Amino acid sequence: MGRYVVRRLLQMIPVFIGATLLIFLMVNVMGDPIAGLCGERRCDPATAAQLEREFGLDKPVWQQYLTYMGNLFTGDFGTAFNGQEVTELMATAFPVTIRLTLIAILFEIVVGIALGVVTGLRRGRPVDTGVLLLTLVVISVPTFVTGLLLQLLLGVKWGWIRPSVSSEAPFDELILPGLVLASVSLAYVTRLTRTSIAENRRSDYVRTAIAKGLPRSRVITRHLLRNSLIPVVTFIGADIGFLMGGAIVTERIFNIHGVGYQIYQGILRQNTQTVVGFVTVLVLVFLVANLVVDLLYAVLDPRIRYA
């Protein structure tokens, strides 16, 4: 187990370096960021040169990358064009997005798995068909449509919520955006759980458990569900990173100043430091989430062992 974790952690290093290098190159391909800094007007050459020097843009890309990585290990993520430290931006953006992601994940786990269990146990019944249809609708409608529609109905027409989230972005204001963000994944979780439950319901160990006279609830939670969760856990694990990075649409609709907003701004203003900094952290989140998922397998199914 220990050796497995160490090996996995070591594998992260090349993935991490490769990912950051790719992003660094991609942002650099987009052209000269200084050119956009002075609006419709050309920056005067002397100021432009001075700014380039300040942001280290006058050096070749490989050297910029090395300097960047060097600084990274001392916790220096560089400075955005408006003079703010990127770490400062992260300190304000990440807590918000983490709250949003937490709510989304909670929805996925609680609602998604519950619905999946219910439908999986009642295959072919009206409940099952109903939920299947509903999830199909949710999957096929794009997030921004759901988001804008709910915002209009709940926020403007009925006045139940505020259409935009305040800058503090507390949990209660994030419930609706969280649900919108989770919606598509939620539908997938439901469907995955349903199939998995329906399949395992006929397996030998479930029949044995029932034959032993165990109470139905125990059979379902300890035996059936536990074994059926492996594909679901894999999905949710991968989804954490996806939700954090993919929140751009939801964050825009509800005016949430989180990670998606910062990355979007960074790309528009072609701010290498912001984009690379945020994506670097997201890559780390992705890698760690994947590791946790892999470790969870063993908890769910003891037959899976790590050498």
Partner 1 sequence: MRGATHAQWIVCAVAAALTATACGGGDGGGGSGDAGAVLSASWGDPQNPLEPANTNEVQGGKVLDMIFRGLKRYHPETGEAQDMLAESIETTDSQNFTVKVKDGWTFSNGEKVTAKSFVDAWNYGASLRNNQRNAYFFGYIEGYDRTHPEDGGEQSADTLSGLEVVDELTFTVKLSQKFSTFPDTLGYAAFAPLPQAFFDDHEAWVAKPVGNGPYAVDTYTKGSQMSLRTWEDYPGDDAAQNGGVDLKVYTDNNTAYTDLIAGNLDLVDDVPASQLKNVESDLGDRYLNTPAGIIQTLAFPYYDENWNRSGSEKVRKGLSMAIDRDQITETIFARTRTPATDWTSPVLGEDGGFQEGLCGEGCEYRPDEAKQLIEEGGGLPGGRVTITYNADTGSHKDWVDAVCNSVNNALDNERACTGNPVGTFADFRSQITQQKMSGPFRAGWQMDYPLIQNFLQPLYYTNASSNDGKWSNNDFDEFVDQANQETDTAKAVGLFQQAEEVVRDNMAAIPLWYQNGSAGWSERLSDVKLNPFSVPVYEQIKVS
Interface positions with partner 1 (CB under 8 A): 30-47, 49-51, 54, 81-84, 88-89, 92, 151-152, 155-156, 158-164, 166-167, 170, 172-173, 251-255, 257, 261, 264-265, 267-270
Residue whose CB is less far from partner 1, 56 or 163: 163
Write down the least CB distance from residue 57 to partner 1, Å: 11
Residue whose CB is less far from partner 1, 19 or 161: 161
Token couple for 245: 């990075």
- CA angle, 149 then 155 then 160, to 5°: 125
Cα-Cα-Cα-Cα torsion 165, 170, 176, 178, nearest 10 degrees, comes to: 110
Exposure letters 103-126 (e unless 16+ CB within 10 A, then b): bbbebbbeebbebbbbbbbeeeee
Token couple for 77: 């993520």
Write down the least CB distance from residue 71 to partner 1, Å: 20
**Packing angle of the helix pair 113-121, 175-200 (nearest 10 deg):** 30
Residue whose CB is less far from partner 1, 73 or 160: 160
Write down the least CB distance from residue 58 to partner 1, Å: 11
Residue whose CB is less far from partner 1, 161 or 233: 161
Write down the least CB distance from residue 182 to partner 1, Å: 20
Q: How far apart are the first and last CA of the chain?
A: 6
Write down the least CB distance from residue 253 to partner 1, Å: 7
Write down the least CB distance from residue 245 to partner 1, Å: 16
3-state secondary structure of 85: strand
Count the neighbouring beta carbons within 10 Å of the beta carbon of residue 268: 9
Residue whose CB is less far from partner 1, 33 or 116: 33
Q: What is the DSSP letter of 43?
A: P
Assess contact for 128 and 122: CB atoms under 8 A.
Answer: yes
Write down the least CB distance from residue 155 to partner 1, Å: 5
3-state secondary structure of 201: coil
**Packing angle of the helix pair 272-300, 226-245 (nearest 10 deg):** 180
Residue whose CB is less far from partner 1, 165 or 232: 165
Q: 220: Cβ–Cβ under 8 A, 6 or more apart, which residues?
A: 117, 121
Token couple for 34: 């200084």
Residue whose CB is less far from partner 1, 56 or 155: 155
